Amino acid sequence: MVQSHKLEKRRSSGASAKSTSAEYLRKLSLEDEDDWETSSDSATSSEEGNVSSGERRSPTRRESATSINSVEMLSNELLEREASQSFEAVPHSPVQNPPVRNPPVGLGGAGRTLAAAFQASEHIPYKRAEIPEPSLTPYDKNFCKALVSMLEKRKNYLYKIHTVFSDDSWDPKELEKSGQAGDYIEASPMSMTPFKVAAREDSDIDFGMENGVYIPLNEEHSIAVPVAAKVFFSDLHDLSSMMNSAPYATFAHRRLKLLQEKFSLYQMLNSEKEFLSIKALSHRDFYNVRKIDNHVHHSACMNQKHLLRFIKKRVREEGDKPVIMRDGKVLSLKEVFESLGLSPYDLNIDVLDMHAHNTKNTTFHRFDKFNQKFNPTGEARLREIFLKTNNYVKGKFLAGITKEVFDDLAASKYQMAEYRLSIYGKSKSEWAQLASWWYDNKLVSPNVVWMVQIPRLYAIYKKSGELDNFGEFISNIFEPLFEISKCPNKDPKLVAFLDNVVGFDIVDDESRHERKVHREMPTPEEWDVEKNPAYNYYLYYIYANLYVLNSFRQKRNMSQFSFRPHAGEAGDVDHLAGAFLVANSINHGINLKKNPALQYLYYLAQVGLAMSPLSNNCLFCEYSKNPFPTFFERGLNVTLSTDDPLLIHMTKEPLVEEYSIAMQVYKLSTADISEIARNSVMQSGFPKRLKRHWVGGSKMFENNPYQSNVPDVRIQFRKECLEAEHQMVYKYGMMPSE
């Protein structure tokens, strides 16, 4: 289906587009910052209606969808497609009671208690509150149409990831055993032999960059191409005007409130049943359900006490080792400490001074100051020595502490993480360097998969003369990936590393002022000014190149990557609109609280949100005002993650700390936190066979309470709510206009 989108569709920008984009760049360089908001607003509003239908990408899926009369089928198709990245929907079924399971058997005294709880929970019926269907105004019906259109668009944008690893190649229990202390072998969740790379033949498909996106040059090999940039910017504009319409916001707010009230009624009527059914689950409790930290930056994955201990030990044992070059002179670790006027004995947590929340609000709304906290004792050179992969010691210290973190994860057994490593886009050699660091230090753990984060720092490299234009930034990131996917024998270390990378992320300060994007944007090759492009500009070009790369890698039977950017931590709500169209799931998303229509869309599409209320508390949203509990009650696909344990958390188990605080403050039940942990498994990039082993399935509503600790009745409730909303939205959204 995706392959029907021909290259010509993307190449639709004409001469007038060039002049408009040149104008955009000129304004960007010359205009006063204060003018951005007003001038961009007028620019975007004047484009309304400018997009002729012929310029839009051929909506193959949308057209075929509209020819189907059954609302149920459409709703089902949507669930199924949405599920493709981390979920797969179960077929639509009429409302029914959850499946009956067998009582626990073969147990002694405790078993009798469990059996009694099981019998009691089975005898309590699942109680539903009957909610009549609302009567909709013409505005509401129009809103349903707009919602259907956006949901269908999202389906068209997303790349469907195909598993390439055989599901039956090994038993998940084998992997878990490999992580136990004393019996350690090198295995990762993606492979039992992650460092063995089979030779593969080269591909004869060549790629070149055109308008900021890599495309196949010999076209007989049809590689799927993404939606064109101008269509994305135009869709973004449509979505933005939809979500800012007042009558739509009212309707969405009412639906979200109703969902929240439904949850409250559900809890009131079924808490006893939930409590007993969880009690009856032999062996399983919250401590031994799998919890995945879906959103955590690798260079901040250890806690502060751990880093402190590690630094002291290194100075003691390797004090004479040369570790850094400063002013043409190589310094040993001891000399670095002398130059800072510090002895290792003096070091304590307060001298290290990395906790963001120890600073009496000095980091609140100050992303720059939060970032400075990454420097131990405020010294950039200690950050370079201990927390970088590419330094004088070739990242040895960071690799050493990473292995200790792996040991902690192995000891906890039930906690997993998706650590993000940075690729900056400054040079094409970054990938090979990062992969060597990973490969040479053998950084695999059964509890860890990797992600790559791209900081939005083009402007800094442009200013320092390292880059000429934004196209170079994109090409530094993607060219090595196309190259290695074409000729994998050139760098087996990079091949092995990429097999362990599950997704891409974009990061940086969203609160910084930016000019809104409009339909006729300059291409990345034209973007040669020192201003940073807007968030949604980065978003599109990373998405589009990833899309082509995924398509190529699928053809080559290689692993593919999901797109899970940071979005909605701060700044314009439009960031979340762009992410709705192109991201598989996102990190943060707190700004959804500002826009009910968009929040409702995120609910309907069940876009995953890896939220970090403790991190938000240091930066953009106080803990008590965090929308996490509201989103959870409404049924958005939310989970808890740590973001930066080094700057935020106090204990050896930062993820459990995050859950613990949320549980206390937001008054969450065991069923609630188990559901949140189950969401983390579903949102993650861990292989399906592990998801089945951990929660009983990899599809949206598949569940085995004996593995997930989530009562079946809870999943049933969530499913009924989502189906009811889909049925209503599609019923009115598919009606001909009155």
Q: Which residues are annotated as a binding site for substrate?
A: 297, 569
Q: What is the DSSP letter of 98?
A: P
Q: In the bound complex, what is the minimum distance in angstroms from residue 639's beta carbon to Zn ion? A: 14
How is residue 214 written in tokens?
A: 């890599």
Binding pattern for the stretch 519-558 against Zn ion, x by CB under 5 A and - elsewhere: ----------------------------------------
DSSP string of 14-64, one letter each residue:
-HHHHHHHHHHHHHHHHS-GGGHHHHHHHHHHTTTT---GGGSPP-HHHHH
Residue 30 buriedness (CB in 10 A; 0-12 / 13-18 / 19+): exposed
Nearer to Zn ion, 477 or 647 (CB): 647
| 638-640 vs 608-611, strand pairing mode | parallel
In degrees, to the nearest 5, what angle opens at C-alpha 293 toward C-alphas 287 and 297?
A: 145
d(CA 436, CA 492): 10
Q: In the bound complex, what is the minimum distance in angstroms from residue 295's beta carbon to Zn ion? A: 6
Nearer to Zn ion, 269 or 507 (CB): 507
511 contacts 566 by C-beta, under 8 angstroms: no
Nearer to Zn ion, 467 or 610 (CB): 610
Q: In the bound complex, what is the minimum distance in angstroms from residue 453's beta carbon to Zn ion? A: 8
585 contacts 683 by C-beta, under 8 angstroms: yes
Nearer to Zn ion, 548 or 609 (CB): 609
Nearer to Zn ion, 574 or 643 (CB): 643
* Number of residues binding to Zn ion, judged by CB under 5 A: 1
In degrees, to the nearest 5, what angle opens at C-alpha 135 toward C-alphas 130 and 141?
A: 125
Catalytically annotated residue among 298, 518, 588, 726 = 588
Helix then strand then coil, % of the chain, to nearest 5: 55, 10, 35
Residue nearest to Zn ion (CB): 643
Q: Which span sits near Zn ion by CB under 5 A: 267-275, 357-365, 635-643, 692-700?
A: 635-643
Count other Cβ atoms within 10 Å, centred on residue 365: 12
How is residue 117 written in tokens?
A: 């709880």
Any catalytic annotation for residue 588?
A: yes
Q: Which span sits near Zn ion by CB under 5 A: 304-312, 348-356, 536-544, 641-649?
A: 641-649
**384-419 burial by CB neighbour count: b if 16+ within 10 A, else e?**
bbbbbbbbbbbbbbbbebbeebbebbbebebbbbbb
Q: Which span sits near Zn ion by CB under 5 A: 68-76, 390-398, 638-646, 690-698?
A: 638-646
Nearer to Zn ion, 587 or 704 (CB): 587
Nearer to Zn ion, 80 or 643 (CB): 643
285 contacts 707 by C-beta, under 8 angstroms: no
292 contacts 684 by C-beta, under 8 angstroms: yes
419 contacts 301 by C-beta, under 8 angstroms: yes
Q: In the bound complex, what is the minimum distance in angstroms from residue 427's beta carbon to Zn ion? A: 24
Q: Looking up tokens 């650590």, which residue turns up?
A: 419
Residue 562 buriedness (CB in 10 A; 0-12 / 13-18 / 19+): buried
Nearer to Zn ion, 445 or 453 (CB): 453
Q: In the bound complex, what is the minimum distance in angstroms from residue 80's beta carbon to Zn ion? A: 30
Q: In the bound complex, what is the minimum distance in angstroms from residue 612's beta carbon to Zn ion? A: 7
Q: Which span sits near Zn ion by CB under 5 A: 41-49, 358-366, 394-402, 639-647?
A: 639-647
Confirm or reject binding of residue 574 to Zn ion (CB under 5 A). Answer: no
Count other Cβ atoms within 10 Å, centred on residue 220: 6
* Amino acid, res. 370: F
421 contacts 359 by C-beta, under 8 angstroms: no
d(CA 319, CA 324): 12
Q: In the bound complex, what is the minimum distance in angstroms from residue 572's beta carbon to Zn ion? A: 18
**90-120 burial by CB neighbour count: b if 16+ within 10 A, else e?**
bebeeeeebeeeebbeeeeeeeeebbebbeb
Q: In the bound complex, what is the minimum distance in angstroms from residue 121's beta carbon to Zn ion? A: 39
* Amino acid, res. 310: F
Nearer to Zn ion, 10 or 366 (CB): 366
29 contacts 531 by C-beta, under 8 angstroms: yes
What residue numbers does the annotated binding site for Zn(2+) cover? Answer: 295, 297, 566, 643
Judged by CB under 5 A, the residue of 643, 702, 712, 725 near Zn ion is 643
Nearer to Zn ion, 510 or 643 (CB): 643
| 213-216 vs 291-297, strand pairing mode | unpaired
Q: In the bound complex, what is the minimum distance in angstroms from residue 569's beta carbon to Zn ion? A: 7
Q: In the bound complex, what is the minimum distance in angstroms from residue 438's beta carbon to Zn ion? A: 20
Residues lying near Zn ion in the complex (CB under 5 A): 643
Would you name the residues annotated as active-site residues? 588
